[in-house]
Amino acid sequence: MESYEDGFSGRRTAEIVGISYRQLDYWARTDLVRPSLADAQGSGSRRRYSYRDLLELKVIKQLLDAGIKLESVREVFSYLRESLGEDITTANLVINGRNSVVVASGDELIDVLNKGQGVFNVLALGGVKHDLDAAILEFRPAAELPGDTTDASAV
């Protein structure tokens, strides 16, 4: 039984991620995701993939399953690695059709496949409510706010 610390063999990685060993081998040879624990060093050597590698591979598979072309997946991962460093799983991706992958980062949406063009600001509606409530209470300290179950005069 393989443990997380020992990593995962190429065959086990392919099984866990749900891809063929041939795909995994191709992605390693073309530098999409190289095994971070041990890379193949010629005939007879074994690749060892880390848990983080498996996460990246699973994301790649899901992007491909959503219809994103492999060339575009490479662009997305290049952007994620440059922007987020080690932990790409902190990102949220929005897939819009086959030609659009947007990264939700903080309060921005960045269209990765259009080289950062189409940057949108995200308006967190919870924050708007909080700011409005604070402004109302500043001007009318005894106001009862919609949905407020606390006694406004106690504030």
**Residue 152: its pLDDT value, please?**
47
**Residue 15: its pLDDT value, please?**
93
Residues 6+ positions from 145 with CB-CB distance below 8 Å: 133, 136, 137, 152
> With contact defined as beta carbons under 8 Å apart, do 67 and 76 qualify?
no
**Residue 86: its pLDDT value, please?**
63
**Residue 155: its pLDDT value, please?**
47
Domains of the chain: 1-65 (1.10.1660.10), 125-154 (no CATH)
Q: What is the pTM of this model?
A: 0.68
Over the chain (155 residues), the average pLDDT of each successive run of 10 is 72 93 93 80 72 88 89 87 74 76 76 66 66 78 65 49
Residues 6+ positions from 120 with CB-CB distance below 8 Å: 102, 108, 109
